[in-house]
């Protein structure tokens, strides 16, 4: 049988270009990384200075397709899944930082016409998918509107706590936005407030702001939002010099009242080390006195003015009116908010609070994880209950059995997942399993792999993609394999192209994911036992959760 298992990819090809320190720092062994918390257990200084790969060998026990590395000079051993090595190869595109412009969808008003990111508060509370959609809008567009939030005082805190943690400030846990006598802040008057970000004098600045409308019977007092990242990107395009000045000039922002005094020195446009827009601060009310050489002051004021004009450019600002019960949640490091002046005679009362983007991102990530698993679970319950191409088990039973077989064989988690999910493409492809049995190849392995790529990395998707090819390969190269196929599998083999020819089999064997796919295929063939006890989908949730893409 060993002759039939394709050789793993050549370790030298995979490891040649990898910096040894980077590779070793990513060693997944339980000595290097705590299996429970996932945290690294060693210091970078614990590694030998002259670290090198002493030997590397392909490894495929229990269906793994991995490379075993022995390190010099300390003799440490690491095992890297081939798919991990392929996916994390140096030079591959970095994951988008969700705080910088690279992780955002920039907009101007017309882009959102008639399609405000909004949701009903009750639906948001009841439905995790709705919750994820709202939080994703805040992350991607910079804001979302919740409607029909109960118009009770303090309710804004419940909204913040639904996704994160309230950031208390000198204004309290929450603050009231309404006309006050002798206000310390112009927000608490009826004056027009032009587009600005809040609290630029705070450092760290609150990254999320919420405003909940309790009443708005005043004439005027309409709201506006401007995408500051979009405006900053326009500035970079139209006047790169001004953009540069604003990213390089720390501006003193100042707030002072009887109980506090805050000063922060931050640029109007903050970029990350790669030069990508990351934060915008803009608040004419609280800019203090800049102390710079005259030429730099002139350059700053020219750039500041150009940016200020750009922020007021028609078409950028999204105008809307908060009705009682509306709560707008927005990214205070990106969106500028504004309001028109209003008549003091009408009642206008908002309550606001601050929170932070990291808590929101964490909640969203967990919602996505469990949404992915819920979606998979529903596939097992719904279409999975269908008969499996004439086999004595349903599709769901077949897949659960395959996963259980992989697990029982001691296979690594990603292969258990691949075995469990290998036929998922039967549910979603344009050609159904029934049609496959009627003679049309539904290419379900590719459909399934593409579907799974939403949630899992290549270590899970590629064995799924290749599991049909693996059957055609095994039937070609392993004596007696084809004879053991079930009747339905023999039929579909022909629809799928029959056993591979010699050249095709050699090409397949050379693929880096071939060994993983062959392992999955063997569990696939075995998982048609109507009498076997099989675990439910719930059994695999923790394993799948750990594999979900970040």
For residues 242-261, which are near its own copies according to CB under 8 A?
Answer: 247-250, 252, 254, 256-261
**Kind and range of the H or E element at 225?**
strand 223-227
Strand segments, DSSP code E, in 257-308 are 261-266, 269-271, 277-280
179 is a contact residue toward its own copies (CB under 8 A): no
String marking each residue 354-393 x if it binds its own copies according to CB under 8 A: --xxxx-xxx-xx--x------------------------
Segment 303-332, which members bind its own copies (CB under 8 A)? 304-305, 308-309, 312
CB of 171 to its own copies, least distance (A): 10
Q: What is the DSSP string of 348-397?
A: EEEEEEEE-HHHHHHHHHHHHHHHHHHHHHHHHHTGGGSB-TT-SSBHHH
Q: Please identify which residue in 41, 323, 408, 530 interacts with its own copies, judged by CB under 8 A.
A: 41
- Which of 154, 334, 115 shows the shortest CA–CA distance to 227? 334
String marking each residue 98-127 x if it binds its own copies according to CB under 8 A: xxx---------------------------
Q: Please identify which residue in 2, 36, 113, 314 interacts with its own copies, judged by CB under 8 A.
A: 36
CB 331 within 8 A of CB 225: no
CB of 335 to its own copies, least distance (A): 17
284 is a contact residue toward its own copies (CB under 8 A): yes
- Which of 52, 53, 89, 48 shows the shortest CA–CA distance to 69? 53
Taking the least distance from each CB to its own copies, the nearer of 262 and 488 is: 262
CB of 313 to its own copies, least distance (A): 11
If one counts every other C-beta atom within 10 angstroms of the C-beta of residue 219, the result is 12
Stretch of residues binding its own copies (CB under 8 A), selected from 14-22, 67-75, 112-120, 234-242: 14-22
CB 64 within 8 A of CB 413: no
Segment 208-247, which members bind its own copies (CB under 8 A)? 247
CB 422 within 8 A of CB 465: no
Strand segments, DSSP code E, in 276-322 are 277-280, 318-320
CB of 258 to its own copies, least distance (A): 8
Q: Please identify which residue in 262, 409, 485, 493 interacts with its own copies, judged by CB under 8 A.
A: 262
Taking the least distance from each CB to its own copies, the nearer of 308 and 532 is: 308
Please report how many Cα atoms fall inside a 13 Å half-sphere around the Cα of residue 209, on the Cβ side.
23
42 is a contact residue toward its own copies (CB under 8 A): yes
Q: What are phi and psi of 209, to 5 degrees?
A: -125, 145
Stretch of residues binding its own copies (CB under 8 A), selected from 150-158, 219-227, 283-291, 507-515: 283-291
Q: What is the DSSP string of 154-198?
A: THHHHHHHTTS----BTTBSSEEES--SS-SSGGGSSS-EEEE-S
Stretch of residues binding its own copies (CB under 8 A), selected from 2-10, 109-117, 120-128, 159-167: 159-167
Q: What is the DSSP string of 55-90?
A: EEEEE-GGG--EEEEEEETT--EEEEEHHHHHHT-T
Size of the site for its own copies (CB under 8 A): 100
CB of 163 to its own copies, least distance (A): 11
CB of 37 to its own copies, least distance (A): 5
Segment 54-83, which members bind its own copies (CB under 8 A)? none
Q: What is the DSSP string of 199-215?
A: -TTSSSPPSEEEEEEEE
Q: Please identify which residue in 1, 7, 12, 19 interacts with its own copies, judged by CB under 8 A.
A: 19
CB of 169 to its own copies, least distance (A): 6
């Amino acid at each position: 049988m060993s002759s039939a298992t394709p050789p793993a990819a050549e370790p030298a090809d995979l490891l040649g270009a990898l910096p040894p320190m980077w590779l070793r720092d990513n060693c997944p062994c339980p000595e290097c990384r705590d299996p429970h918390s996932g945290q690294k257990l060693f210091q970078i200084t614990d590694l030998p200075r002259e670290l090198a790969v002493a030997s590397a060998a392909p490894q495929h026990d229990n269906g793994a397709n991995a490379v075993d590395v022995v390190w010099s000079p300390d003799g440490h051993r690491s095992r890297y899944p081939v798919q991990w090595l392929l996916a994390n190869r140096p030079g591959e595109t970095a994951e988008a930082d969700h705080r910088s412009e690279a992780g955002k969808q920039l907009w101007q008003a017309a882009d959102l016409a008639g399609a405000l990111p909004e949701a009903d508060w009750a639906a948001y509370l009841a439905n995790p998918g709705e919750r994820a959609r709202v939080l994703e809008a805040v992350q991607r567009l910079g804001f979302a509107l919740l409607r029909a939030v109960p118009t009770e005082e303090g309710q804004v805190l419940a909204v913040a706590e639904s996704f994160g943690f309230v950031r208390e400030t000198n204004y309290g846990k929450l603050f009231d936005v309404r006309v006050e006598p002798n206000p310390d802040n112009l927000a608490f008057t009826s004056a027009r407030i032009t587009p600005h970000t809040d609290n630029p004098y705070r450092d760290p600045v609150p990254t999320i702001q919420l405003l909940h409308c309790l009443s708005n019977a005043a004439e005027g007092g309409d709201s506006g939002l401007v995408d500051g990242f979009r405006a900053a990107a326009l500035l970079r395009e139209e006047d790169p010099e001004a953009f540069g000045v604003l990213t390089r000039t720390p501006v003193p922002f100042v707030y002072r009242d009887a109980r506090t005094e805050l000063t922060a020195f931050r640029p109007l446009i903050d970029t990350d080390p790669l030069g990508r827009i990351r934060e915008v601060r803009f608040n004419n009310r609280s800019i203090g006195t800049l102390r710079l050489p005259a030429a730099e002051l002139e350059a700053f004021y020219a750039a500041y003015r150009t940016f200020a004009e750009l922020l007021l450019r028609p078409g950028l600002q999204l105008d809307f009116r908060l009705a009682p019960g509306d709560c707008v949640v927005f990214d205070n490091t990106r969106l500028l908010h504004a309001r028109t002046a209003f008549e003091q005679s009408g009642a206008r009362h908002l309550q606001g609070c601050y929170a932070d983007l990291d808590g929101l991102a964490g909640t969203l990530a967990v919602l996505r994880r469990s949404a992915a698993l819920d979606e998979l679970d529903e596939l097992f319950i719904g279409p999975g209950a269908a008969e499996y191409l004439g086999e004595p088990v349903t599709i769901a039973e077949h897949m659960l059995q395959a996963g259980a077989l992989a697990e029982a064989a001691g296979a690594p988690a990603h292969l258990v997942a691949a075995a469990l999910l290998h036929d998922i493409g039967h549910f979603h492809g344009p050609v159904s399993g029934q049609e496959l049995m009627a003679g049309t190849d539904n290419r379900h392995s590719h459909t399934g792999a593409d579907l799974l790529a939403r949630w899992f990395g290549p270590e899970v998707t590629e064995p799924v993609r290749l599991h049909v090819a693996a059957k055609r390969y095994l039937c070609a190269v392993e004596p007696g394999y084809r004879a053991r196929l079930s009747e339905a599998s023999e039929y579909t083999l022909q629809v799928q192209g029959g056993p591979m020819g010699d050249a095709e089999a050699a090409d397949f064997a050379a693929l880096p994911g071939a060994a993983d796919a062959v392992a999955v295929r063997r569990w696939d063939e075995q998982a048609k036992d109507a009498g076997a006890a099989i675990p439910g989908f719930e059994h695999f949730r923790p394993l799948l959760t750990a594999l979900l893409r970040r």
